[in-house]
Amino acid sequence: MRKFVFVLFLIGVVGLLAMPCLAAEEKAAPAPAPKMGKGPGAKMAAAKAPVVKLERVDIANIQSFYLDPKERKGAVMNLAFIFALENPNNFRVMLDDLKFTVAFEEFELNTVIVYEDNYIPAKTTDYLRVNAFFDSMAAFLTLAVTKGHRLVELGKKPDEMLKKWWEEIQDFKFPITINGTATFVGPDGKSTVVPFESTFPPKQ
């Protein structure tokens, strides 16, 4: 019995002596590294704005120029605007809408709006083709009503400008300028509005 008590005593002494060492080791141990979140919020913390770039303009369809103000009839032109949409993020984003105005030389003739959702994978550049229609009669009214004073300054008439554009666009002899915004939505549901502007053909 005495031996058993003595053994218990020794065990207690050894435990008391070891406790300071264990406490010191526990204090010296480095704190565990914080875990990075895996949810959408963590992904969007380092989100980069997508890039919208006009690659080119194609003539999808065009009628020979004619204009009859009395009958309110005119020729139709269909231009295709090809955009490069670059997603620099590690997650996909959705193009929610894209809006832009189109100007021939300095004269705005059309506003184009696209609402179809378009998903762009991570680290990918997607291409979007947007068609825009131009009617010489509608363009004639726009020029006559809103840009009449500027045409007077240039010594030009609306029908003269339109005829020139319809004939020279085959070789893109004049600048076509676009100015607009694109709205992208990330995995967290938040929207990012990206402005863009470009001129085609590119300035040399």
In DSSP notation, 65-84 reads P-EETTTTEE-EEEEEEEEE
Kindly give the parts of the chain with pLDDT less than 50: 1-45
The token pair that represents 125 in the structure block: 């550049």
The token pair that represents 195 in the structure block: 């402005």
User: pLDDT by residue (tens digit) across 90-99?
Assistant: 999 999 999 9
User: pLDDT by residue (tens digit) across 6-29?
Assistant: 444 444 444 444 444 444 444 444
Distance CA 45, CA 30 (A): 27
Tell me the residue type at 135: D
DSSP H helices, the chain, are 2-28, 40-44, 136-146, 148-154, 158-168
CA 51 from chain centre, in angstroms, equals 5
Closest C-alpha among 120, 44, 134 to residue 83: 120
Task: Kindly give the pairing relationship between strand 124-135 and strand 118-120.
Answer: unpaired
Distance CA 124, CA 118 (A): 13
Residue 142's pLDDT is 94
How many residues belong to the chain? 204
Residue 46's pLDDT is 66
Report whether 198 contacts 178 (CB < 8 A). Answer: yes
Distance CA 49, CA 93 (A): 10
Distance CA 51, CA 37 (A): 26
Query: Which domains, and CATH codes, for the chain?
Result: 47-200 (2.60.40.10)
Distance CA 111, CA 89 (A): 30
Work out the number of other CB atoms within 10 angstroms of the CB of residue 152: 10
